[in-house]
A and B are shown apart, each in its own frame.
Chain A
């Protein structure tokens, strides 16, 4: 959202200056948006201040140095010891315990917020840029260009997203960046459709016709007259899209097709430790809760934005 607003300020000149302030007030009045924003603020603080919050380096195998995982360690030192639910004073204190490789789980969960945030914003940013471009061209040009682009989008939408993403990752080779690219590609049609619909509803309006008559270029009309009007649905869709993108990339990482160990990514952390479920469930539950709350935050904010900004979509 913040990435998009700088471009907005310019076209709005001449209208009442409090348009965006009103929108913001509407959003903040929504209970769901408040909860969503609170969760996301927490996430952002966690991501920005990760080095200050984390008690250990997320990748250092500190538990091994402390002898917790050594084969000859005394039995009372072995097994999960989670400070949060009680840990004998004689043992090293780890807030959420340590993982199988002796790394501090709390620190890894904290650092994971950076990856998830970056994954969500970059993936959706990519999809929005390409999608809006395609949708704008389709809507503005019409005719066979429109047909060609939109039928291609229909076909992309005809695949279950994660399945198509897996097929794309197969070509690109597993990795976090490639997983993001795959999920980004799969998400393009949604934004293309939103943008095209906006363009179609606006391009024959008087003020657009007037701009054209004044000799403004097609690119200028798209950028200055049409894009600002399409922003609301794009912002709403984008916020909800971030939630979906984080979920899907985490799912790919869980399957071993996205982020690769030892990177502290929540999905991959759960995937790597899933066999510890029976004796150390916290290794799955802690990153699982972090992931769910992040997705919940974006979902709630998206719902709040939709209710506040787009009464037509009010459901």
Chain B
């Protein structure tokens, strides 16, 4: 098992290297002089000479790539021009929201996707099956931004003043705030990477409020998460439901399922223990791959629901021509995506011993 994990990890390294290279190449392809972009009207030839020397831009391209690579490995993603502070700092502030949102969306999609898929497959061609699959087809075809806006209209406008009303955006109701972890833990004096890590987890509101027992803000944060998470999770939910159904149907046609039935096992045991366990592998693959769609969808969801995560930051930075932020966030998103798919790959080894031995 250890050898299997090690091999998968090693295979990921060239891909990560490639990602850094593509992001670097994109940065070099950017129109205009980076010095002019950064210093704007202050970009005199003398200032640019100093600037280029400072950031290694006077070096040959391979040397520049090396500088970029070592910077990234030491956690330096460059500086945002529009905000005048390091991109890494912005990440600590904004990434938690995006992770929280994608985590909830993916959890919803996985739980309900598998549930609907199993129900559909075990009652093949029934009204429930047909209805679920029609729903899944519509779900997969509805853009996140349309669904999100329709949800806002329905839950915040139509259902206004009813108990089912949900907030149209934001992370917390005005007036409610979350006590930072650094404060709860008496670490306000701390600095450097430790503080960054504490702040990072502190900004995952659901996690923060849960472990420090701030129940009011926790409920409020969750209420604000429902609409964006459902809007974002609908497409993967539909894909997972379809994949679970088809994979399970294939397995349920196998001989050992007939054997299980013949020995008098209840239908539930047949479907869940013998069927689903063997059908789950393609479903896990789809779950891993749908993270890419979720991270991309987060860009739209955050923009619609006014959530300041990295998705919204990317769009804002494109408009502000803040290239360092676009690069840094693109890089981080891709690395998250690759890492999760590495974990999915490794999970195969646990789910299916045959793969481990190949």
Contact = CB atoms under 8 A, between A and B. Distances in A.
A and B interact physically: yes
Interface of A: 32, 151-152, 154-156, 158-164, 166-171, 173-174, 243, 247, 250-251, 254-257, 267, 270-271, 274, 277-278, 281, 284-285, 288, 291-293, 295-296, 299-300, 303, 315
* CB-CB nearest 7 A-B residue pairs: A162-B296, A155-B18, A288-B146, A296-B141, A315-B246, A160-B292, A295-B141
29 contacts: A155-B15, A156-B22, A158-B19, A161-B292, A162-B297, A163-B329, A163-B330, A164-B330, A166-B330, A167-B326, A167-B330, A168-B26, A170-B326, A171-B26, A247-B143, A255-B315, A277-B152, A278-B153, A284-B149, A288-B143, A292-B138, A292-B142, A292-B146, A293-B141, A299-B137, A299-B140, A299-B141, A315-B242, A315-B246
B134 to A, nearest CB: 10
A250 B314 CA distance: 17
Nearest to A39: B141
A174 B142 CA distance: 24
Question: Number of contact residues on B: which range applies?
Answer: 35 or more
Contact of B143 (A159, A167, A291): A291
Contacts of A281: 150, 153, 157
A260 B19 CA distance: 30
Contacts of A293: 141
Contact of B149 (A170, A243, A274): A274
Interface in B273-291: 291
Contacts of A295: 141-143
Contacts of B299: 162-163, 166, 251, 255
Nearest to A271: B145
A271 B303 CA distance: 10
Contacts of A303: 137
Contact of A158 (B29, B314, B337): B337
B293 interface: yes
A257 B318 contact: yes
B12 to A, nearest CB: 9
A102 B242 CA distance: 43
Interface in B246-269: 246-247, 250
A151 B19 CA distance: 11
Could you tell me the dominant secondary structure of chain A's interface residues? Answer: helix
A154 B150 CA distance: 36
B338 interface: yes
B318 A169 contact: yes
Contacts of A256: 315, 319
Contact of B146 (A161, A257, A284): A284
Contact of B18 (A152, A173, A274, A285): A152
B80 interface: no
Given A166-B326, A257-B315, 7 more contacts: A32-B137, A155-B22, A160-B337, A247-B143, A254-B143, A267-B143, A281-B150
B136 to A, nearest CB: 10
Contacts of B152: 277
B67 interface: no
A170 B319 CA distance: 8
Contact of B157 (A163, A166, A174, A278): A278
